[in-house]
Amino acid sequence: PVPLGHVLRAASQTGRRPEVVTARLAEFGLRLSEGVVLPETIDPDDLLLFRHGSHEHGGLDQEAPVKLWNVFQLATFSGRSLADVAQRLRRLGFTMAGEVSYD
């Protein structure tokens, strides 16, 4: 699957909506992971979140729960609270690992 961070960066750099970028990728047989939710527009904070994700070539693994360490790391890099980072990732279709409350 194509990492969501790549789609968001491509949309930002080309001035296209994420759904347009995803549709173009689909023409080449590429797809996002199941359950990932595309935002209608690019939030600059999302670009920060995915730039500092755990996987150097695409950010967070969309098919695995996000670990607490990654939420801490992203909160530190973005200047957002743990709750804000976890909430944004959930809205984008990611799941959180474990039974930790970020609120």
3-state secondary structure of 66: strand
Are the C-beta atoms of 81 and 74 separated by less than 8 Å?
A: no
Tell me the whole-structure pTM to 2 decimals.
0.80
Q: Share the mean pLDDT of the chain.
A: 86
pLDDT digits over 7-48, tens only?
A: 999 999 999 999 999 999 999 999 998 889 999 988 888 887
